Structure 1
Amino acid sequence: MFAAERRQLILEMVRANGAVSLRELARVVQTSEVTVRRDVRALEAEGLLDRRHGGAVLPGGFTRESGFPQKSHLATAEKTAIADLAASLVEEGEAIVVGAGTTTQELARRLARVPGLTVVTNSLLVAQALAHANRVEVVMTGGTLRGTNYALVGSGAEQSLQGLRVSRAFLSGSGLTAERGLSTSNMLSASVDRALVQAAAEVVVLADHTKLGSDTMFQTVPTDVITRLVTDQPPAGDDRAATELQALADQGVQVAVAGNSEPGGGGGESSVPSGRGRRRDVPLPGQRRNGGPGAPQLRSAGALAESSAGSAERAQARVADLRRR
């Protein structure tokens, strides 16, 4: 393929998806990441796109949101590795919330094997992944369906989460920086994600390396509220992504890096030293529930909130702190 043909294809992919990793571009145009990086640099010089950490985005500073069909084909190997590692954090009998996104959908597929689990979600795709899981209770929020990512949003979703208390929230987004934390391109999605955070004692962000350093319009989780980041290993030479990971760790975020992001790779974990000296070999505390056998049940979040009185003192303190923010 000639350089002009490669660059035209790269440009079409970025215009269709909003943001594409160098690794994915190299795979599609069947060349090396070094060559793709050179092509992206040339296209940026013409003002046709902007370079970002390990990828390319539409020009203009802020990336726009891609639809689910486009997102589902991006960084698939990285999302698999991240989901494997994130699932290892979840304990039997725990109650958690899981936000919308392609990475959280991958996580949900693995959570189907955790007995006694209760999952609260606003994502139809997460619920679908767990629909036939044995001994997993699925609790869906109310709200208005947003078709681009198959998520329930709006005041109905936010109100159904009021009074809810769970141990952990698993969220993804469109961008993650040490300065602003997690962000997304849609105001309604951001508002629901904030409500999910308020319901949880701890926040775990799932983000592949292409999102590191990307900044989108609406902040969902400030950096100082993020407990842990689960990500993949940035490609060799992506110094900016590595710098962003270190900056997040310096602000107290526990960074867990999937040891092998290639297809068929193992699920090992490495970590980035934290400026606050937090340990990473201690699992996050879970909220135990007595799960019984049988098919999963779909209930409203309001019904679960009524039955979850007497939650852990730590969770209440965390939620109070979040609301003061």
Structure 2
Amino acid sequence: MFAAERRQLILEMVRANGAVSLRELARVVQTSEVTVRRDVRALEAEGLLDRRHGGAVLPGGFTRESGFPQKSHLASAEKTAIADVAAGLVAEGEAVVVGAGTTTQELARRLARVPGLTVVTNSLLVAQALAHANRVEVVMTGGTLRGSNYALVGSGAEQSLQGLRVSRAFLSGSGLTAERGLSTSNMLSASVDRALVQAAAEVVVLADHTKLGTDTMFQTVPTDVMTRLVTDKPPPQNDRAGTELQALADQGVQITVTGLAQAGPAEGTAPGHGGGGGGPAGRSGDKGRREMPMPGQRRNHPQGGGGSGAPGPPQLRSAPSLPDQPQGGGRVADLAPRRR
């Protein structure tokens, strides 16, 4: 394929999807990511698209929302790994809310194995994934169907969530930055997501690395409300995504990164941390981990012990064992705040 043909196909993919990762572009045009990056740089110079961290988006700063068929094929392996880890955070008998999205749909497929679980959702796809789970109760919100992502939105959905209280909310979105938190491109979806957050004691965001550093129009989960982020390891050349993760950790968000080949305990980790508890991260029996505050409560940064006070490099510490953690899928690690 000639360069002109490649670039035309890249441009068509970005226009159709709103945002596409370099990995996906390279797969479709059947060339290396280095070549695709060069093509994207040339198209950006012509003002036809904008480069983003590990991908390309429509020009103008804010990406528009892709349709479900397009999103379901983007970063599918990463979403599967994220869902595997997130499912390990849920215990028998819990009540949780699960928002709409392709990553949360993957999570729902795994939650079907958790007995005694109650799942509140506005997503038809999440409900469908749990429809034949005999030991899981599914509660649907009301609302108006939004066909592009098979979700119920509007005042009916928001009113049905009033007075609800559950242990955790699992949400995804279109973009995630340390400055604004999680965001989405649709106003109605954002409003329902905010109502889901208000119903939960803890907020877990599921976002693959292609969303890190991407900003979209409507904020759904501010950074100080996020309890935990479950994401995948960004490519080595994606410095911005790594910087964004560290900035989120510095603001008190617990970062769980899937697919790490090696991760040793951080300095100062309590002895035996992550060793024999076997419980989900963040529960009262998980020693050596910060307490998870309620939504809206800003977290305090842990202080380091002495020294010059200059921030150190990002510290990765081994995460505790999670139930049903995938085998052979790489280590799971937590990103710790910089020691101060």
TM-score range, shorter-chain basis?
Answer: 0.7 to 0.9
Q: Does 1:190 align with 2:166?
A: no
Q: Does 1:126 align with 2:102?
A: no
Aligned length: 284
**Partner AA of 1:129 in structure 2:** A
Cα gap change, 1:270 to 1:189, in 2 (>3 Å)? farther
Cα gap change, 1:235 to 1:241, in 2 (>3 Å)? same
Partner of 2:19: 19
Partner of 1:248: 248
**Partner AA of 2:294 in structure 1:** R
Instruction: Return the offset for 1:77.
Output: 0.8
Query: Could you tell me how far apart the structure 2 residues matched to 1:220 and 1:269 are?
Result: 33
Q: Deviations over 1:215-256 (max 9, x none)?
A: 000000000100000001111211111111111111111111
Cα gap change, 1:8 to 1:235, in 2 (>3 Å)? same
Query: Could you tell me how far apart the structure 1 residues matched to 2:196 and 2:214 are?
Result: 22
Instruction: Return the offset for 1:73.
Output: 1.0
Query: Could you tell me how far apart the structure 2 residues matched to 1:47 and 1:251 are?
Result: 35
TM-score normalised by length of structure 2: 0.79
- Asked if structure 2 preserves the Cα contact closer than 8 Å seen for 1:54 and 1:238, the reply is yes
Q: Flag the structure with higher helix content.
A: 1
Counterparts of residues 32-71 of structure 1 (less than 5 Å): 32-71=32-71
Counterparts of residues 221-240 of structure 1 (less than 5 Å): 221-240=221-240
Partner of 1:318: 294
Gaps of 5+ in 1: 261-267, 287-313
- Asked if structure 2 preserves the Cα contact closer than 8 Å seen for 1:99 and 1:171, the reply is yes
Partner SS for 1:219: strand
- Asked if structure 2 preserves the Cα contact closer than 8 Å seen for 1:258 and 1:269, the reply is no
TM-score normalised by length of structure 1: 0.83
Partner SS for 1:65: coil
Partner of 2:86: 86
Query: Could you tell me how far apart the structure 2 residues matched to 1:99 and 1:12 are?
Result: 30
**Partner AA of 2:223 in structure 1:** T
Instruction: Return the offset for 1:137.
Output: 0.4
- Asked if structure 1 preserves the Cα contact closer than 8 Å seen for 2:225 and 2:295, the reply is no
Q: Does 1:142 align with 2:142?
A: yes
Cα gap change, 1:217 to 1:270, in 2 (>3 Å)? farther
Cα gap change, 1:280 to 1:42, in 2 (>3 Å)? farther
Instruction: Return the offset for 1:21.
Output: 0.4
Query: Could you tell me how far apart the structure 1 residues matched to 2:157 and 2:227 are?
Result: 24
Partner of 1:296: none
- Asked if structure 1 preserves the Cα contact closer than 8 Å seen for 2:225 and 2:297, the reply is no
- Asked if structure 2 preserves the Cα contact closer than 8 Å seen for 1:256 and 1:269, the reply is no
Q: Quick one: percent identity of the two aligned structures?
A: 86
- Asked if structure 2 preserves the Cα contact closer than 8 Å seen for 1:92 and 1:117, the reply is yes
Cα gap change, 1:248 to 1:106, in 2 (>3 Å)? same
- Asked if structure 1 preserves the Cα contact closer than 8 Å seen for 2:224 and 2:297, the reply is no
Query: Could you tell me how far apart the structure 2 residues matched to 1:270 and 1:80 are?
Result: 21
Partner SS for 2:247: helix
Partner of 1:264: none
Partner SS for 2:100: coil
Partner of 1:265: none
Q: Deviations over 1:5-50 (max 9, x none)?
A: 1111111100000000011111111111111111100100000000
Cα gap change, 1:96 to 1:159, in 2 (>3 Å)? same
Partner SS for 2:42: helix
Gaps of 5+ in 2: 275-279, 285-290, 299-340
Query: Could you tell me how far apart the structure 1 residues matched to 2:99 and 2:186 are?
Result: 14
Q: Deviations over 1:99-144 (max 9, x none)?
A: 0000000000111111111100000000000000120000000011
**Partner AA of 1:284 in structure 2:** G
- Asked if structure 2 preserves the Cα contact closer than 8 Å seen for 1:257 and 1:270, the reply is no
Counterparts of residues 212-227 of structure 1 (less than 5 Å): 212-227=212-227
Partner of 1:158: 158
Q: Deviations over 1:170-215 (max 9, x none)?
A: 0000000000000000111000000000000000000010100000
**Partner AA of 2:184 in structure 1:** T
Partner of 2:281: 283
Cα gap change, 1:44 to 1:273, in 2 (>3 Å)? farther
Partner of 1:289: none
Partner of 1:76: 76
Partner of 2:308: none
Partner SS for 1:259: strand
Instruction: Return the offset for 1:269.
Output: 9.3
**Partner AA of 1:155 in structure 2:** S
Query: Could you tell me how far apart the structure 2 residues matched to 1:93 and 1:67 are?
Result: 34
**Partner AA of 2:220 in structure 1:** T
Query: Could you tell me how far apart the structure 1 residues matched to 2:185 and 2:30 are?
Result: 30
